[in-house]
Amino acid sequence: MIPSVAPAPHQRKNALARFSAHRLFASPGGVAGVIWLAALVAASLTAQWWLPYKTEDQDFTAVLSGPTAAHWLGTDELGRDLLSRIFAAAAGTLGTSLITVIVGVGLGTVLAMLAAAAGERVEAVISRVTEIMMSLPGTVIILAVIGAAGTNIPLIMAILGILISAGIYRVILGQAKSLQSQLYVDAAKVDGVSTLGISLRHVLPGLTNTIVVQSALIFAVGMLIQAGLAFIGFGPPIPQPSWGGMIQGASQHVYDAPWLMVPTGAVLALTVLAANAIGNALGKAPNTTASHLPSAAARRQRARAVAAVGAATTPSANPVADSDAAPANGQLSVRGLSVGVDGGPRLVTDVSFDVEQGTVLGLVGESGCGKTMTALSLLGLLPSGVAATGGQILWNGKNLAAATDREMEAIRGRDIALISQEPMRALDPMFTVGYQLTSAIRRLRKMGKADARKEARTLLEKVGIVDAERILKTYPHQISGGMAQRVAIALALSGRPRLLVADEPTTALDVTVQAEILSLLRSLVKDTGMSVVMVTHDLGVVADICDNVAVMYAGQVVESGRTANILDNPRHPYTLALLAADPHANSAADMPDRLATISGQVPQPKDWPTGCRFAARCQFAGSACAAPVPLLASGSEEGLVRCVKADELAVEGLEWLATEVPTHRVLKIVERDLA
């Protein structure tokens, strides 16, 4: 929903590394982790030159001492210097933990790549085996290995790695499979690149970041388990120091020298923390999907923004509300609405339209023009991070743009309802249709359980479901998409709303089902007298059902008016272009040889020019288009158009032309790619 620059699916290895490094150093935790680990490694590798004492030196004048000038971190029960022992043990701990990382992450990655490359059979076998491995009591098995092979720490850490590889496999498999199914991998297969070559050249580079993240996390796990084993007496042979062994020693003196616990525990914890911090800094996925129910903190923030919008739009700045003293029931007036990302660009600017009771308004335009954001703002259901930043949404005279969430809760469902694009995803997969419908009816109509159930059945029958009783008992995944959309419409109707916001309600459905759903909506409008705001990119839908149209481009309304006028006599070049590009708009007889296209794409909100936002793609653009363009009367009834050349175009009767595709350019591109 929130426009974001999606990373290209196929990144070069060095680009990925640079990106990862950047992300690591962007996080303070990651930087601290790297510094700590680097310092620890450097200190432990050079330990023999700088350590104040040998690990076995005993200072009987200072047994179990706290930090002193002679012993910075104190001494243990034999008067051995803790600082020296901690750093002498570091190299071994870090080194052997690395064995677990190499074996675990290495084996897990190889298995995942193998499963992804070699097909379902192999994958099923490997997955079964790893499932078994994951359901084993690992610690007990490690101890049994110690029984057989003794405390051979590198071997133990390697076996730990094997046990852990099952988990790594699980983490990496999904990603490896999705990389393996990329189109460029298919292309490489067609080109005859071997399976191994594909895995190494195309899959492995894409896994780099995950592998690094998992390595850091497993490094931490390895250290903890190694210390735990040393703690229960399966560490390096005494008197060789180990962190776990030192904590075990300290635990014997928790009564008389509790300080002994602190230095070793702190160093171990800091090291684990450092490895985790690095892993987390690298693994933090940028959150691209916005929450549909923002957190309490985000809601508080939004409440402040809403209050600001309310304060900014005083009634005097609102001629419409002033002139209409008693607005009609079911009257929606949007005035100068702006929607924006918190601290980011505006996605919708200065949008105005009216919806009279019992009429259908179409919001039309390409993807990314702000139609859905406009529609969702009517219900106060913008995704988290996006909010109405100005203007008014007047519903029966009340400004919803400045309404609190609690006030909106009284409006949603009862006054204004929503149906969305993908009915399957709009219904809760965990609850039956019956539960979802009856609980909405009970809430919105204050009905008892039995009455609500009866009403649910009536509603389902009303939206054209014949075996309502059976559908009530089903879960959403058990019904078809068209059926689910009918259920979603019934759900929207459960509060008997006066306005229905429909966000591309037919786009995800089969063509035959589309027509059924549209005719259902049309009859509902006729029967109930409710109004509809219909978001769509399909001019056929507009012609079919809408009384009025607002054509949106790049967050603005560029043309609005009665449907018949706009379809027959479009004034804005964008509307002209949409109509010329629509295969339904022309009758079969005068179907043109070539459909028109609109070159380029809708600009990102941050790239919107101050002048006409469509100018860059417009066939008629001129120097006058660089200045801001107001929305002016188009000359037909209440029609409005935002184009400085609208009159000129109308007089000359210009049409949007289907342009020839320059074939020589296509060939050149292909030649260059082959070279």
Partner 1 sequence: MALFITKRLLMALATVLVVAVLAFLLVHAMPGSPGAVSLGAGASQDAIDEVNRRLGWNDPLLVQFFRWLGDAVQGNLGVSLIDGRSVSADLANRLPVTASLAAGATVLSALLGILLGVTAAVRGGFLDQAIGGFVGLLVALPAFWIGIIFVYLFAVQSSVFPATGYVPFEASPRDWAMSLALPVITLAVGGAAFIARQTRASMLEALQQEHIRTLRATATPTWKILYIHALRYASLPIVAGIALQFIGLFGGSVIAEQLFAMPGLGQAVQNSVSTHDAPSVQGVVVIATVVVVAVNLVLELATKFLDPKLRAS
Stretch that binds partner 1, among 10-18, 44-52, 415-423, 608-616 (CB under 8 A): 415-423
**How many residues bind to partner 1 according to rule CB under 8 A?**
86
CA-nearest of 667, 672, 620 to 646 is: 620
Instruction: Give me the least distance between CB of 655 and partner 1, in Å please.
Output: 40
Residue 231 within binding range of partner 1, rule CB under 8 A: yes
C-alpha 439: how far from its chain's center?
29
Among 69, 140, 190, 466, binds partner 1 (CB under 8 A): 140
Measured distance CA(610)–CA(629) in Å, rounded:
9
Which span (194-202, 420-428, 588-596, 646-654) binds partner 1, by CB under 8 A?
A: 420-428
Q: Which is nearer to partner 1, 279 or 639 (CB)?
A: 279
Of 177 and 443, nearer to partner 1 (C-beta) is 443
Contacts of residue 284, Cβ cutoff 8 Å, sequence gap at least 6: 23, 27
Give yes or no for residue 417 binding partner 1 (CB under 8 A): yes
- Beta carbons of 501 and 418 less than 8 angstroms apart: yes
3-state secondary structure of 96: helix
Residue 149 lies near partner 1 (rule: CB under 8 A): yes
Residue among 202 and 453 whose Cβ is closer to partner 1: 453
Q: Is 210 in the site for partner 1 (CB under 8 A)?
A: no
Query: Of 100, 313, 374, 420, which lies in the binding site for partner 1, with binding defined by CB under 8 A?
Result: 420
**Do the beta carbons of residue 654 and residue 647 sit within 8 Å?**
no
Answer for the pair 605, 3: CB distance below 8 angstroms, yes or no.
Answer: yes
Q: Does 510 bind partner 1 (CB under 8 A)?
A: no
Answer whether 9's CB lies under 8 Å from 182's CB: yes
Window contacting partner 1 (CB under 8 A); options: 81-89, 297-305, 513-521, 547-555? 297-305
* 238 is a site residue for partner 1 (CB under 8 A): no
For the chain, percent helix, then strand, then coil, each to nearest 5? 55, 10, 35
Three-state SS string over 572-619 comes to CHHHHHHHHCCCCCCCCCCCCCCCCCCCCCCCCHHHCCCCCCCHHHCC
- Name the one residue in this structure whose structure tokens are 């001129």: 622
Q: How far apart are CA 475 and CA 466, in angstroms?
A: 17
> Least distance to partner 1 from the beta carbon of 9, Å?
21
List 28, 119, 150, 174, residue binding partner 1 (CB under 8 A): 150
**CA angle at 83 for the pair 82 and 87, rounded to the nearest 5°:** 115
Answer positive or negative: Cα dihedral of 545, 550, 551, 554.
Answer: negative
**34 touches partner 1 by CB under 8 A:** no
Q: How far apart are CA 348 and CA 345, in angstroms?
A: 9
Output the six-digit token pair for 295: 């957190």
Residue 148 as a binder of partner 1 (CB under 8 A): the answer is yes
Under the criterion CB under 8 A, does residue 139 sit at the interface with partner 1? yes
**Region 450-509 residues binding partner 1, contact defined as CB under 8 A:** 475, 477-478, 488, 491-492, 494-495
Nearer to partner 1 by Cβ, of 495 and 639: the residue is 495
The residues, any chain, with a CB within 8 Å of residue 669's CB and separated by 6 or more, are none
| Binding residues among 354-413 for partner 1 as defined by CB under 8 A | 379, 381, 409-410, 412-413
Which of these ranges, 51-59, 327-335, 440-448, 657-665, lies near partner 1 under the rule CB under 8 A?
440-448
Name the one range near partner 1 by CB under 8 A: 20-28, 288-296, 595-603, 625-633: 288-296
**Closest-CA residue to 408 (of 569, 502, 294):** 294
Nearer to partner 1, 134 or 564 (CB): 134
H, E, C per residue of 470-527: HHHHCCHHHCCHHHHHHHHHHHHHCCCCCEEEEECCCCCCCHHHHHHHHHHHHHHHHH
Q: According to the binding rule CB under 8 A, does residue 132 interact with partner 1?
A: yes
Residues 554-613 that bind partner 1 (CB under 8 A): none
CB of 147 to partner 1, least distance (A): 4
Pairing status of strand 416-419 against strand 360-364? unpaired
Nearer to partner 1, 499 or 644 (CB): 499
Residue span 239-278 as binding mask against partner 1, x where in contact by CB under 8 A, dash where not: -----x--xx-xx--xx--x--x---x--xxx-xx--xx-
Q: Give the shortest CB-603-to-partner 1 separation in angstroms.
A: 27
Judged by CB under 8 A, the chain residues 91 through 130 that form the site for partner 1 are 128
**Count of C-beta atoms within a 10 Å radius of residue 92:** 19
